[in-house]
Amino acid sequence: MELFDTHCHIDDASFDHDRPQVLQQCRKSGIGHITVPALVRSGWDALLTLCKSEPGLHPTLGLHPVYTNQHQDSDLTRLQEYVANKSVIAIGEIGLDYYINNNDKARQQELFEAQLSIAKDVDLPVILHVRSLFLFYILFNNRGALCVYAFLITAKH
């Protein structure tokens, strides 16, 4: 049986010293495919290059809510351009993170909705990050509605 890891930040700098060995071990363990979600615009090119150079790695591009303070409106325009790249299999990692107290919730929501709209326009799925909130999120626009529901389970539960 071949496994598909749907969420692994193997592009992170912490893997720079042993990424080939980690990927080799993954393949030996039966993991044939790995989705690699992006975090910030500045990492997209390196992520795409990595995924192109390693078989079985599949890039997703997006603006992660934890890094909301780093994202620019121009990143959304660039995202629209980048997702034309046929190797991009999803928009992500996107979402809402209310765990971080100093993060701007309104800006998070603005970026989240914009990226959902891009995903819908190009007919790509999304990789969601949702933390510290019960979310029943309904987005209406001129093309219909989208409903996402997610929740956090803590050790207490």
Which residues make up the interface to Zn ion (CB under 5 A)?
93
Q: Which is nearer to Zn ion, 48 or 62 (CB)?
A: 62
Residue with Cβ nearer Zn ion (5 or 113): 5
Candidates 94, 134, 129, 131; CA nearest to 114 is 94
CB of 64 to Zn ion, least distance (A): 7
Q: Least separation, in Å, of the C-beta of 129 and Zn ion? A: 6
Smaller CB distance to Zn ion: residue 69 or 141?
A: 69
Nearest residue (beta carbon) to Zn ion = 93
Q: How far is the CB of 66 from Zn ion (least distance, A)?
A: 9
User: Got the DSSP string for 83-152?
Assistant: TTSTT--EEEEEEEE-SSTTS-HHHHHHHHHHHHHHHHHHT--EEEEEESS-EEEEEEETTEEEEEEE--
